[in-house]
Chains A and B, each alone.
Chain A
Amino acid sequence: MNEPVIRVQNLKKFFPITKGFLVKKKVGDVKAVDDVSFEVYKKETFALVGESGCGKTTTARTMLRLIDPTDGKIEIFGKDISHLNREKLLPFRRKMQIVFQNPIGSLNPRMTIGQILIEPLLFHKIVDTKQEAYDKAIELLRMVGLKPYHMDRYPHQFSGGQKQRIAIARALSVDPEIIFLDEPTSALDVSVQAQIINLFMKFQDELNLTYIFISHDLSLVRFISDKVAVMYLGRIVEIGDVDEIFENPIHPYTKALLSASPIPDPKIEKQRKRIILTGSVPSPIARPSGCFFHPRCPFKTEKCEKEYPNMYKVSENHQVSCYLVEKEGV
């Protein structure tokens, strides 16, 4: 097998909680990402899923070095970037782009679409002259299904779906190899979502892109990704091949998530048995002892309250951190 494009090892990101006004004292940590490891291969779509506050976005931002990791390694093309300085990070920044959830917030309202697309081209010295940059920007607009005359317009003149197309064009402008997609369609209507998702699939095919896809929409994750990591309170609880996990989930949390996601089919909906979890996600400041999921878990044992379970290998492409595996002897 070829080398992974991304290798994340024991990644941690803690945000300190301070107390006091003049003299600040650290009183604890929000453990947003706690010991997360995974590998992503070329042309793969790797999905991070979980509910709000599970650490999926923090993981992605730390990998991009938009925030600095507390501990652990982030290897991109075999090089650890977790401690590189700004200057040395630049070539990696070019290789790793991100498309955010909210296209209104990620496009500068005072810049025309042309300026938005030309700036990164010149900054990263992808092209030498302004004319070349202009030509390339028009080419990018065509790629995402917009027209050359859109170059002189401002973001507010576009609909949500079109804005997201512009954000994609900007991400593609610097010839990246990895694109992070942070809930890229959750602000869009269903009929437009499919257009954007198809666009992502097309570019992955044509440009050999690797995607890190962050989403809470499991139906979408099933459609777009190859591998998936389910996160709960900063840790990965189940990871592996998408189809295998969706058809044979082992962790009770994954099971609950899947059974809670509605299916657009009234007959199936009426027959489905839901695992309704009680309560809500505990605070990441005071996480439960043992397995973090045990207070909500319908299958908990005594052991679950004491010790956090290790990752067990269920099959070649499926790992899970739950004692149930031991019991079922999978």
Chain B
Amino acid sequence: MEPILSVKNLSTWFYMEEGVVKAVNDVNLELHENEVVGIVGETGSGKSVTVRSIMRLIHKPGKIVSGKVIYRGRGKEEDILSLPEDEMTSIRGKEISMVFQDPLTSLNPLYTIGDQLTETIIQHQDVDRKTAWEIGIEMLKKVQIPEAEKRMMSYPFEFSGGMRQRAVIAIALSCNPKVLIADEPTTALDVTIQAQILDLMKELQKEFKTGMLFITHDLGVIASMADKIIVMYGSRQMEVASAEDIFYRPLHPYTHMLLRAIPRLDKKQDKLEAIPGQPPRMIEVPNVCPFAPRCPRRLDKCTKELPELVEIEPEHFVRCFNPVLETKNSEAIPNE
């Protein structure tokens, strides 16, 4: 089946006084219906800018310098990046919606939850206010907010952090979008609340068969959510594979080391294997492998040219001249 969303050769750069920050370079991804694609990466790896580019939420000094975002949800192929802005407003929230990290800033403090829910519904669906209000109540029930009728009248400040994120999810799903983009949706929440929200998102994603792009820096969270994972580092995709392959057979040295650098709840470990060095600076980056300065498997070639993202194994893409091919299954995860 054709993917519902395809991103092709997307590059987004920021033209700063200090120089050009190439935040996203040559990103390709595909998202199918009822599929969860996770994007993991550290601060500045370009994961957020990638999804904001898809939604066309890049403002000056940022610019989408190249690429296509093909959306197939309306019965035809459309390049989102070349649509006029007013056409775009009928896609945002209706076809593709987004949940951000901090629910307090994505909700308007001056309007009730009900107002904000119905606003979206009226904007995109051909219904009157009364019906919209009822749909709103239904949505709040779906995200398990107790006393939904009463809660429609509450303001965001009257909600706890977890409840706010539930309300944001209700708004995002109110028009039954085909694609949901979640940008670190649980990073601001406590673990027990995070577990509630992740559970809810998984459930709703299955129910609505939404294609979901899930962004996080937390490898534990992505393990529970994603079918497919994209590992980003220094504005590029380093490895793309199924969740199982990423965790049990990581081929890129970065992914490989990253998995050994995180402590585990279920195991007693003696040592964390730290990745030496610092994350890359983003200005005036040479066109070579961004991980090369920190990589123990570096070859001479690595500091001279940029490796391509190649399919080393079926459905397993790696951008590296010297991938960790000899890994045995048992080695991939630190043993007890």
Contacts and interface: CB of A to CB of B under 8 A. Distances in A.
Interface of A: 51-52, 159, 161-162, 189-195, 197-198, 216-220, 222-224, 243, 246, 256-270, 274, 276-277, 280-281
A52 B190 contact: yes
A245 to B, nearest CB: 12
A168 B237 CA distance: 34
A193 B261 CA distance: 8
Contacts of B207: none
B269 interface: yes
Q: What's the dominant secondary structure at chain A's contact region? A: helix
Interface string B279-292: 10000000000000
Given A162-B278, A197-B272, A280-B160, A261 B258 contact: no
Interface residues of B, number: 47
Interface in B40-84: 42-43
Contacts of B195: 259-260, 274, 276-277
A189 B42 contact: yes
B193 A261 contact: no
Given A216-B190, A261-B191, A265-B223, A189 B199 contact: no
Contacts of B272: 194, 197-198, 223
Given A218-B265, A274-B199, A191 B191 contact: no
Interface string B172-195: 000000000000000000111111
B129 interface: no
A261 B220 CA distance: 8
A264 B264 contact: yes
B220 A262 contact: yes
Contacts of B299: none
Contacts of B196: 276-277
A266 B228 CA distance: 11
Contacts of A219: 220, 262-265
Contacts of B162: 280
A256 B193 CA distance: 11
A262 B279 contact: no
Interface in B151-171: 160-163
B263 A198 contact: no
Contacts of B163: 280
B217 interface: yes
B261 A191 contact: yes
Nearest to B186: A262
Contacts of B23: none
